[in-house]
Amino acid sequence: MDVTFAASTFPPLALGFFGLGTGYLIYGPHELFGYPRKSDAVDRAIGVWGIWMPGLCQLVTGLILFVGLTWFQVFTKSPALYMAALAFSAYGIHWFAIGWNRYRGNDPRPNAGMCVAYMVISAMGATVFFKVGDWPVGLLFLGLFAIYFVDFFAAIGIKPAERVLGLIRILTGSWLMYLAYAAAVDFSLAYHWPV
């Protein structure tokens, strides 16, 4: 028995953008301004937010996209959604680790190796989305590349890098809020904002 599902024009992109943007808007001000002041309680609170917002929102988005692309073929409009599924899944999983490490107060130095891998996936995303003419998402991946480039130096202990990282996270988080807003109004109200 062959079962065919109707194509969907509603990939859960806004959820993934919103979750990641929220994470950056929580982590960024702490890194840039040192507010709230670092303490065990603040690290635990920031860690929890890292796990549940960017971690879970992106993982759910990535899994829905992968399942919709591969098992049910309901997202066939754009092959670039494969790159989105890969990125949302990988970034979501990595936020579980980042949030947990922050929650537990673990040593950030191993993040240096993670940064190299995430610079690669960020470069992949920029290549794909600029190639298909989706410059707003391509720009997002440039912001992500910048985050992991600077985070590499923060992870190895170069102090000014943490403040620069905070600024880039705030800027990228703000762009993600635009992308979440644009995706939501495009899908809900048939607007045509660049996403």
Tell me, yes or no, whether 3 lies in a domain.
no
Residue 93, domain extent: 13-189
pLDDT in tens, 53-87: 999 999 999 999 999 999 998 997 788 999 999 99
pLDDT in tens, 2-47: 777 888 889 999 999 999 999 999 999 999 999 999 999 999 999 9
Tell me, yes or no, whether 94 lies in a domain.
yes
Nearest residue to 24 via CA among 146, 193, 130, 113: 146
pLDDT in tens, 136-182: 999 999 999 999 999 999 999 999 999 999 999 999 999 999 999 99
Tell me, yes or no, whether 54 lies in a domain.
yes
What pLDDT does 161 receive? 98
In CATH, what number is assigned to the domain containing residue 130?
1.25.40.600
Rounded CA-CA distance 88/13 in Å is 9
Tell me, yes or no, whether 195 lies in a domain.
no
Count Cα atoms within 13 angstroms, Cβ side, for 182.
13
Q: What is the total count of domains within the chain?
A: 1
Tell me, yes or no, whether 194 lies in a domain.
no
Tell me, yes or no, whether 2 lies in a domain.
no
Which stretch of DSSP H or E encloses residue 50? helix 40-50
Nearest residue to 88 via CA among 34, 148, 16: 16
Tell me, yes or no, whether 141 lies in a domain.
yes
Check the CA dihedral 55-57-8-123 and report its sign: negative
Q: What is the mean pLDDT of residues 99-124?
A: 97
Rounded CA-CA distance 27/35 in Å is 10
- Residue 191: partners with Cβ closer than 8 Å, 6 or more residues away: 182, 185
Tell me, yes or no, whether 31 lies in a domain.
yes
Distance spanning both ends of the chain, measured CA to CA: 38
